[in-house]
Structure formats: structure tokens, C-alpha cells
Structure 1
Amino acid sequence: MTYKVLLIDDEPGALEGMQLWIDWNKLGFEVCGTCSNGLEGLQQIQEQLPDLVVTDVNMPIMDGLEMIAAWRQRHSKKVSFMIVSGYSDFEYAQRAMRYGINHYLLKPIIQEEAEMEIEGIHRELMQEGEKQSFDQIATYEETVVWIKELLTEQSMSKDSVLSMPLITLSVKREKWNFYLVQADAFMFAELRETAVSLLAPEPFMFLIDLEENSFGIVYGYTIETVDEDRACLVIDELMRRYAGRRLFVAAGMEESSLLSIGRCLQTAKQAIAYLFYKSDYNEVVYYSDIRDKPFHYHYDIHLMDGMLGAIELLHKSSFQEAVHSAASSFRETLIAPDIVKKIVIHLLYRIIEYVRETIDTPAEAMLGKYSIPEISGSVLHLNDLLSRLLVCGEESIELLLKEQTRKSQGIVQKINGYIQEHFRENLTIKKLGEVFYLNPVYLGQLLMKKNGLGFNESVHDLRIAEAVSLLEHNKLKNCEIAERVGYSNYSHFLKEFEKRLGMSPNKYKSNKL
């Protein structure tokens, strides 16, 4: 790591020598400035904020030790000092030790000795930096724990209240607020890591882990400063990096004390629910915008009946219409998202159960396909939720239609077999319906669809085909043949025979002889 060093000496040659003879870059330093007396040095230290100051002791206007004393008296920023002096300035060296300055170079400066001393200072700065980092992390984590206790309304011990710096931290900012962030499980870990990196340089922002797949950002700001804008920038950057992905963010109502941050969380929770009715995942909702828009908890039960009825009737367009109607009703009435999710979950289970009972298929695969167990805690807009219901209903109707087709194919084969066995009898579509427990109208449509021929035509075809066979044997009279194949009216027999063969039974026989 590279640190900044400021060089101070009233002798130009000495300053030039320190810059030329010592390889500062190699030793981990960068010269940020030079000056010729302690007064200029104080100003340069304040402007440049160096990590190390190498200063001559005996200088005009203000000597090096006076400068060090003045800096330490007026400023809290810790700066390492190394003094440079000649053999005759032993008194200065003694005073330096009293100031706690342990690094001392004698003039003329010997390069090897100077580099060894500077290497030691670099190690000290590294160690001090690590210690400060550890202290900052420990302080941050401790503050996060206390804030989380406030958010969860856990009681704090008397010792905690007395020892924690929350009150001190709170008064450093005029206002405090809370951003609530929710995301899908598969992206949550990455999102949280990104948020941690964005918050790292911010002294008045804290990431608080909440329930599964959500976290909060506690932030403090002072009115008429850019503090609040900095929090907005963090959120904007999160939104930019995760554009188009399922991410919910809401801000609560600000409070004047960090100790009231629990109320900010509660109002943020109320606000985030309204994202359910948005159409874009890259929006932030603020409690101040929704505080006068209460949710409702009573809904039209007929909406569910319409969807389930369409499933039972295998009417896809009716189901689609019922879902769109429900969406409009939920939006207009502003039904609470938790209630809508329960309705959709109930419908999904009912649809899947109906399919399972009808087709005798395992329900587990369908439950997993539509992610039903995950809906309650999911980050979903109304449109996406109802799209899942729509797909489930449409696919279920398709499955049921295929099953109906399969079953109807089997029943048609049985019906055709029955007709072939009983066509000689006084067989009607009504009687056939009674045998197979089917509505005569539906049965007629089914036979037409599967056979390409109506019931009556099928019966006449079978009767005339058998009549032709009997005529070829020439052993029975025409009227006997007609009666044997099922015609009680000979005229009807002649009509159907001529219709199919284009000639009378007698003409057919004469052609065969």
C-alpha cells in the first residue's frame, strides 16, 4: 500500500536531497508536497492530509516540534512524524521523545539508514491501518446488532443501552429512514453482496439482514445536504445492475431519531406491498405516496366460480376471460396482495386436484411446475402471478381435452361394435344413448366426429351391405331380406338400397346372374 509523505526543511538543498537520494516509491510512499517552515507545514498537513511528515527541527518562524505540538492540539487526524536534526540539536531530540516521536534521522542523512527507518514507519502504518480497519468493522458490526435489536423490538439490557453509541450516532443526523429490499432466492446472495460493497464507504448507512430473501438499508441524513441523495444513489445503482429482474424496494416514513427506526421498517413493509400492483420491477415505492391508499380484504367469490366452471367445461376462452376479469377486479378494489396470493394458491390446488382426479396423474409434478409452495413469499407482480394461473388453467384444459379424446376414442369403438351387432334391430340413437349413458345429441355429434358418418347412415350402410350379401345367394325373397336386415317397411328398404347402389334389388340380382 502507498502512503503520502510531506517533506519540510528550510534548506532547499536538504529538501532536494531527501527527494533524490531516497526511493520513496520503492519504500511505499508518494511525496505529496514540500515546504520550508513549520507554519507552512501546518497548512500543508491540513490540505494534503499526509500519512507521514518528515521535518527538520530547527527552522525559522515555527520549528518542527512547535508545528507537531500545534497539529496534535488542534486536530484529531493521526499523522506519523519523523524529525531530522544535526548532532548539535540533541536538545531537540530529547523534546521529540517527550512528544512520543520515535523516528529520528541525523544530518547528513545516510541513505541506507534513512531507508531502514522509513521501512519501519511503513510497517507501523500498515499495522495501524489494519487495526483501524478491524476496529471499524467491529464497531460497524456492533452497531448493526443494536439496530437489529431496535428493528425487532427486542429489549436491550441496561448495560447495552449505556454502552452503545446509538444515541451518539443518532444525533449526528437530523433524519433516519429505512429502505426495504426483497428479491428472488436465486439472486439474493449476489444482490446482498453488491449492496454491501456499495455501502462500504458510507458512514451513516447500515445493511441489516431480515427474514429470508430480504434485507434493509438504514440511513441517516441531514436536511439540505446530499446525504439523502447518497442513499438514493445506492438504491439507483442496485436497480441499474439488476434491471428487469424481480426486485422490490420500498422506503418507509423518516423519523427524527435512530431509536425510532422500527417505525421506519413497519412503514416500509406497508409500502412494499403496493409494488404487487406495479407493472415494472425497477420502481421504488415510498410510504408517503401510499399512506392514504388502504388495501381491502373482501373480494367477489364469483370470480373463482367462473374460473373453476370454465375448467370443468373445458372452455379455454371462458377461463382466460375469467382470469382477466379477476385481474381488473383486484386492481380496482385494491385487494390486499396476501389475499390475492391465497386466492390464486387455492385455485391452483383446485385445478390440479381436478386434473389429478380426472386423469389419475401425480399432482407433485404440477405443484412443482407452477412453484405453488413459493408463491406466498415470492417477489411477484399481479400480472406475473395471474400469468402463472393462466398457464396452469390453459395447460390443464389441454390435458383434459386430450384425455377426453382418448376416452371418447375407446367408447366410440364400443359403440360401433354394438351397432354392428344390433343394426338388424329397431335401433335408435336414443336407445343407443341409454345403453351407453350418453346424451343422444352428444352421442350423435361424437359418432359424426369420430366416424365421419352419422348414426342413421351407419345403420343403413350396415343393413344394405348385408342385404347385398343375401341377394347374391338368391335364396330369399326381397321382402324377406328387407325384414331380416332390419327394415319393417319394404319401401324404405328399396329407397336406401337404390340410394347406395344406384339400382333396385331385382336389377342387382339380374346383373349378377
Structure 2
Amino acid sequence: MKYKVLLIDDEPSALEGMEMWIDWQELGFELCGTCGNGREGLQMMKQLQPDLVITDIHMPLMNGLEMIGEWRQKGIDSTKFVILSGYSEFEYARTAISYGINHYLLKPVFPEEATEELREIRLELEQEANRRRIHETASGEEAATLIKGLLHGKKGEPELMEWLETLPGFKESASWNICLIRTAPELYTEVRSRTVSLLAGYQAMVTIDLEAGLLGIVYGVITDSLEDDGDAGRIAEALDTLLREYGGGNVHIALGTPEDSLLSIEDSYGRAKETLLHFFYEPEQAGVLAYSGVQDKPFSYHYDHIGLMDALLDCVNLLDADGYREALEAAGRSFREQQVAPEVVRKFVIHLMYRIFALAPGAEAAGEEGGVASGVEVSEIQQAMTPLSGLLSRLLSYGGKAIDLLVREQNYMSHGIVREINQYIGEHYQESLSIQKLAEIFFLHPVYLGQLLIKKNGITFNEQLHRLRIQAAAELLRGSRLKLSEIAERVGYANYGQFLKRFEKELHMGPNEYRHAKF
């Protein structure tokens, strides 16, 4: 099966490049059309019904995100989108995420990167098609639809609830619970099929496809079961088998709370979702988590956001890779100790990455050879399966690349810029100069500038400034009849006492003694 692709970009060369350099047929796609703005794109999507739309952000008449938003408002969520963007458009990722978009291609588009992304998208399209077929043909679809409504707070119609009790095992069940199984989207179909196989024959059970990568199993427990471990034991055995086969890093399993009535399953569902979030901090070998085991570990939504952010950004500013790693480890410990809510941590990570990106404006130029944003996508951060350790690992790599880039850039700049700075100081030493003012003039961080001058000149900025002023004062003492106070002011000292002190320190004698000395 070939999936239809629509390309939207206002740059003809970009469209032509994507058409020519990507082997669409080999990847399982066919181009069904191209256009140059969002408004025309909406019309073509309505007409062609593409499976995939690859669109630029900035376009005339209607930009890419506005077009996607209007398409989503029509209630059509089966179309997949890929955003074309540059590093400077990193902030637009948040809007894209809100539309459920997790695929991006950086401009200019390289065939190798596009091919890898398109393979992932084709796999997702195939998995979604399989899930649709499974859902359409699965027995008990009516029950699944009804119970899914109960999970989201819809009241069951009395007639439908009566019909539900006619299904095998439903009327006999004394309590109800829900099990949530989360896995990576590419494993979902396989894990779902295996789960259904392990629980085959269990009567009071409904399998429900929830959000992407999340499977729900609503099951009833017959307390007078004659089996040794009862129904609950059979569920536990099946889940343990699933974990052994796929590993805790690929499958997260959470249980809600037993409810006396199926009508109360919404409460169990809410607790199971809360339990699932605790895998963010739990190790891969956490096994099956039940709400009873985490209910005394509530998440916190308050933490020292500014302190943690400043500590990490200061290390980037100071080009301190070791300090950055230590600050990141401290942030991780703080998140764990306070049990900060996963969604809050993910927002912090995105914010930090954006701030680091702003400090390394040359990242785009280095992107082809492992620049700052190379291999790091916001979609990865948003993935529910990514634990805290994974986020910290990405931040460590991201910050390390930024620091390396800044070091290379500043080392390159330092060869010629110190000469310019020294010349400026030599021409303006009599003015009110400071390291902060020089940093603003030459667009450098003041701490880095101070360290650079020491490295290149062998003395601090203040020593260099005083030395120039005293040398100029000595020349005036030998070649003019100006008063000492006038000379002090002329070479840049507003404080006469400071002038006398610095003069004696530099020349080991006072100004009057120097004036009358014979050399």
C-alpha cells in the first residue's frame, strides 16, 4: 500500500528538492500534490485526503501552523503532519506539540534524515491501520465503546448496562479494576496482540485502545473463583510474563483501584493514570505498579525553578562543562527528592534547551556536524516513556555540545579580538572604563572577557588600565607644568588619592619625586 503525501512550501526550490532527492516509491509513499501556502493547502487536503502532509511554517496568506490548526478544528485527526523548520523556529515546537505533531525536519532538508523520518512515519501509519482493523473486527466492540465512555465520565444508558451484564462473567464479577499498559508507539500493535493472547479466555475483560501507545484492560474479578490465586492472580501472571518478554524499559504497567461497580471505573482509571506517571522516577525493573504502592507519594508542582535554571545557564555562560554536569546532577536529585510532576519537569527541560539554544546562536551552522540541536527533538522529550534519566542524558549531551560550540567560537574570535580590545583600551584609558562596558561593546560575556585578557596579556584588565594611565601620567609629569590633580584627572582618575596610591605602586615613588628626578 502506498500512502499519499502532500508537500507545502512557498519556496519552489525546496519543493523541487524534496520531489527529486527523496525516493518516495521505495519508502512506500506517492506524491499526490504540491502547493505554496496554507490556504491552498487546506483546499488540496480536502480534495486529495493525503495520509501525510509535509509543510513549512512561514508561508504567505496562511502559515503552516495556522493551516494545521484549522484542519484539526474540522475534527480530522487521521492526517499526519511533518513540520519543516529551522533552529530559529524552535519556539514553534510547543504549538506543534499541542496539535499532536511529533515529526520535524530541519531546513535545508537532507535526504538521509528525511528518509529515516519517513520510515518511522510509514511504520506509524501501518500500525495505526492495523489498530483500526483490530478495533473494527474485535469481538465485544460495543462493550469496549461503552466502557471507554465510562472511563471518560459518560453515564451508561440503563439498557446498555443491562445488555453488558449479559456478557459472560460480567454479572458475576464482584469488583472491577483497570490495568494500563504503555509502550512505545512502534511496539504497540505487537504488545497489544501479545497481551490479548496472554489473557485469552478471560471472560470479564475488555481491551480498549486509549491514546497513542496506551492500552487499557478493564477486568472484573470473581471473588469466589475456584482457582488457587483467583482471577486477580491470573491477571498478575499474564502481566509478569509480558514484562519478562519485553522488559521494564519497553513496557510500563499500572493498576488502578478495585471498584464495587463498573460505573465507578472512571475513578480507578484516574488513579491508574496517576500511577503510570511514577515510572518517570522508577527504575526499569519497577515491575507492575499499583496505586496502593504510590498513593503516599504525591507529585509536587512547586520547586526552585529559577535557582536550578540559573545554576545550569551560568555554567554554560562560563563554558564550565564539569560544573554543568554537576548542576544537572543536582537538579536531578532535587526533582527526585521533591517528586516534581513529570509534566513540570518536561516543561523545565524544554525551557532550558531553548535558553541554551539562545546562548549558542551559531548552532545552526554547526548542525550538519553534530551541532547543538543535532539528534535532539522536542518530541522525544514529550514522549511519556522517556524517564527522568533519559531527559537528563539528553540535557547533558545538549549542554555539552553548546559549551563545545561556544568554546570553539570564542577561541576562534579571541585570536583577533584581543588586539582590537587592547587598541580600544589604549585609546580610551582616560575614560570611565570597566570590564562590563568592554563586554557590551565587543559582545562577550564579562567573565569570559576578563579571563581572555589575562590569558593573552598576562595581567588583569584593571592592572592593564592602571599601567596605561600611570605611563601617561609619567609622560605629562616630564613634559608639562600641569598640576598633579590636573594630570590625575586627565589620565582618567576621578579620585586624586587613588592616583597617588597607584602611581607609587607602579613607579615606587610619588609624582612630585618623579617630576624632579633625574633620569
Residue equivalent to 2:399: 393
Residue equivalent to 1:333: 338
Residue equivalent to 1:292: 296
Q: Tell me the alpha carbon deviations over residues 346-383 of structure 1, each in whole angstroms, 9 at most, x when there is no partner.
A: 11111122212x55648898556222134234212212
Q: What's the CA shift for 1:340?
A: 1.1
Q: What's the CA shift for 1:322?
A: 1.0
Task: Give the aligned residue type for 2:392.
Answer: L
Residue equivalent to 1:447: 456
Q: Tell me the alpha carbon deviations over residues 5-47 of structure 1, each in whole angstroms, 9 at most, x when there is no partner.
A: xxxxxxxxxxxxxxxxxxxxxxxxxxxxxxxxxxxxxxxxxxx
Q: Tell me the alpha carbon deviations over residues 396-451 of structure 1, each in whole angstroms, 9 at most, x when there is no partner.
A: 111111111122234367789x89xxx9x9x9xx99x99996789645544379xx
1:7-26 alignment, distance < 5 Å = none
What SS does the aligned partner of 2:284 have? coil
1:75-474 alignment, distance < 5 Å = 140-165=140-165, 169-223=169-223, 225=227, 226-243=230-247, 245-301=249-305, 302-356=307-361, 361=365, 367=373, 369-411=375-417, 442=451, 444-447=453-456
For the structure 1 residues 359 and 386, does the alpha-carbon distance in structure 2 shift closer, same or farther, using more than 3 Å as the test? closer
What SS does the aligned partner of 1:160 have? helix
For the structure 1 residues 236 and 360, does the alpha-carbon distance in structure 2 shift closer, same or farther, using more than 3 Å as the test? closer
Task: Give the aligned residue type for 1:238.
Answer: L
Task: Give the aligned residue type for 1:290.
Answer: V
Residue equivalent to 1:44: none
Residue equivalent to 1:81: none
Distance 1:443 1:406 in 2: 12
For the structure 1 residues 409 and 274, does the alpha-carbon distance in structure 2 shift closer, same or farther, using more than 3 Å as the test? same
For the structure 1 residues 442 and 268, does the alpha-carbon distance in structure 2 shift closer, same or farther, using more than 3 Å as the test? closer
Q: Tell me the alpha carbon deviations over residues 274-332 of structure 1, each in whole angstroms, 9 at most, x when there is no partner.
A: 12111225522110112222211110130111001111111111111111111111111
What SS does the aligned partner of 1:170 have? coil
Task: Give the aligned residue type for 2:160.
Answer: S
What SS does the aligned partner of 2:299 have? coil
Task: Give the aligned residue type for 2:164.
Answer: M
For the structure 1 residues 448 and 238, does the alpha-carbon distance in structure 2 shift closer, same or farther, using more than 3 Å as the test? farther
Task: Give the aligned residue type for 2:207.
Answer: L
Distance 1:368 1:378 in 2: 21
- Indicate conservation of the 8 Å contact 1:246/1:281, yes or no: no
Q: Tell me the alpha carbon deviations over residues 436-482 of structure 1, each in whole angstroms, 9 at most, x when there is no partner.
A: 96789645544379xxxxx9xxxxxxxxxxxxxxxxxxxxxxxxxxx
Distance 2:336 2:138 in 1: 47
Residue equivalent to 1:106: none
What SS does the aligned partner of 2:154 have? coil
TM-score, normalised with respect to structure 2: 0.52
Q: Any unmatched runs of 5+ in structure 1?
A: 1-136, 450-454, 456-513
For the structure 1 residues 262 and 444, does the alpha-carbon distance in structure 2 shift closer, same or farther, using more than 3 Å as the test? closer
What SS does the aligned partner of 1:233 have? helix
Task: Give the aligned residue type for 1:181.
Answer: I
For the structure 1 residues 155 and 219, does the alpha-carbon distance in structure 2 shift closer, same or farther, using more than 3 Å as the test? closer
Distance 1:168 1:150 in 2: 19
For the structure 1 residues 262 and 368, does the alpha-carbon distance in structure 2 shift closer, same or farther, using more than 3 Å as the test? farther
What SS does the aligned partner of 1:208 have? strand
Distance 1:216 1:441 in 2: 60
Task: Give the aligned residue type for 1:251.
Answer: L
Task: Give the aligned residue type for 1:213.
Answer: G
Q: What's the CA shift for 1:153?
A: 2.3
What SS does the aligned partner of 2:360 have? helix
- Indicate conservation of the 8 Å contact 1:279/1:383, yes or no: no
- Indicate conservation of the 8 Å contact 1:170/1:258, yes or no: no
- Indicate conservation of the 8 Å contact 1:249/1:285, yes or no: yes
- Indicate conservation of the 8 Å contact 2:179/2:256, yes or no: yes
Q: What's the CA shift for 1:164?
A: 3.4
For the structure 1 residues 331 and 359, does the alpha-carbon distance in structure 2 shift closer, same or farther, using more than 3 Å as the test? closer
For the structure 1 residues 445 and 216, does the alpha-carbon distance in structure 2 shift closer, same or farther, using more than 3 Å as the test? same
- Indicate conservation of the 8 Å contact 1:148/1:208, yes or no: yes
Distance 1:329 1:138 in 2: 46
Distance 2:390 2:246 in 1: 18
Residue equivalent to 1:3: none
For the structure 1 residues 189 and 167, does the alpha-carbon distance in structure 2 shift closer, same or farther, using more than 3 Å as the test? closer
Q: What's the CA shift for 1:389?
A: 1.1
Residue equivalent to 1:84: none
% of aligned pairs identical?
Answer: 35
